Structure 1
């Protein structure tokens, strides 16, 4: 059995909206990360020649900047999610708390 405060929070439409938006955003970020990681790994596994191409006259291959790109993409998408969580999701949470405390 839930305590009254928890029941009010779970019944609040703003809370339900916040959970739906947050879950949707999380799934989008997850799918993008899976595409980036598995795209890199599967390309490496099944067509090594793509990443084995040398860049210019040096010894660096295409796989190095693409791998670095995957890492930078991870940092970027994490930054975007944290910023969204600290602004939009926190504002939604505060609105739910304000409604429940009435």
Structure 2
């Protein structure tokens, strides 16, 4: 059996419960945010493919802007916002866990 000092660093990191927590939390967040973006995007594409008349409707009677434009823009903005959400967690909770793991591993 190896003592902690003789165990390769990557093995000590992988065995650290905080690392396993980090991987679980990060994967879960990435999956949720990706699902939100993909559902929004593919729903929009399905409407474009199968019910384009819904998106051709003008915003108002005297408007040249169709309803599809703000919906498409909202999907893009949603993607940016969700990127910001991920960055918030990556630079906050995930970074804190990474720092703790690094400190514990290097001791």
Listed as ranges, the gaps of 5+ residues in structure 1 are none
Question: Which among 16, 33, 36 is matched to residue 32 of structure 1?
Answer: 36
Aligned residue for 1:54, secondary structure, equals coil
Q: What is the RMSD computed on CA atoms of the aligned residues?
A: 0.9
Question: Which among 41, 55, 62 is matched to residue 59 of structure 2?
Answer: 55
Moved over 2 A (4+): none
TM-score, normalization by structure 1: 0.94
TM-score, normalization by structure 2: 0.90
Return the structure number with greater helix share. Answer: 1
- In the alignment of these two chains, the number of paired residues is 100
Listed as ranges, the gaps of 5+ residues in structure 2 are 1-6
Give the deviation of 1:31 after TM superposition.
0.4
Match of 1:43 in 2: 47
Question: Which among 88, 102, 105 is matched to residue 97 of structure 1?
Answer: 102
Give the deviation of 1:58 after TM superposition.
1.2
